[in-house]
A = this chain, B = another copy of it.
């Protein structure tokens, strides 16, 4: 592996494990047993590393959210989209933690992230629309669907932060499985729109993802 790629990978690991605020470029260089000067040759700052990590994250999500051509969407497609997106969030989990700070620090990232968001929102709308074509969801008015797509985005992108801030009173670490439980929350928003034909199947699929945090709420 090239040094440049090693730096990106090691940075992502360290940011995810320790939090980006606690990791300097010197930590990254030390972790890789390379000199700070060598790291600096590839990346002039942590900001540049974060931007590269974002580009990889963006590629991954765009790849996950590809829509099949020439056939209708299936329930399996829908579950694949949801699980993949949460897995992507898991792999790049440091990124949404202080996103605003990264965007304030880097004009390129600010612009690219905004475009990425708008692209994802458009794709979520397209997925909702094709789930209607497939007879899985009922038809809804276009303005309402835009607003639904935005709520899907808000729930997906905030789920990890919710887990981290509301769970773990017994020192429990957040796991990939807990992150996947966000699928439950997204399906909750779609339940009233399910057609009679698919209703029972989706409700039963949803149970696989029941979040522990909802159990905790009942205990209160």
Which residues of chain A have a CB within 8 Å of any CB of chain B?
A: 19, 21, 97-101, 103-104, 111, 113-114, 117-118, 121-122, 125, 143-144, 146-151, 153-155, 157-159, 161-162, 164-167, 169, 184-185, 188-189, 191-193, 211, 213-214, 216-218, 220
- Asked whether, in the complex, the Cβ of A121 is within 8 Å of the Cβ of B217, the reply is yes
CB distance from A161 to the nearest CB of B (A): 7
CB atoms of B162 and A153 under 8 A apart: yes
Interface of A is mostly: helix
B161:A100 contact, CB within 8 angstroms: yes
Alpha-carbon separation in the docked complex, A149 to B162 (Å): 13
Pairwise interchain contact B150-A154, C-beta atoms closer than 8 A? no
4 closest cross-chain pairs (CB), A and B: A192-B192, A158-B158, A147-B188, A98-B98
Given the complex, which residues of B lie within 8 Å of A103, measured CB to CB? 164-165
Q: Within the assembled complex, what's the spacing in Å between the Cα atoms of A98 and B153?
A: 19
CA distance A192 to B189 in the complex (A): 10
CB pair B101–A214 under 8 Å, yes or no, is no
Given contacts A117-B166, A155-B151, A158-B158, are A144 and B191 in contact (CB under 8 A)?
A: yes
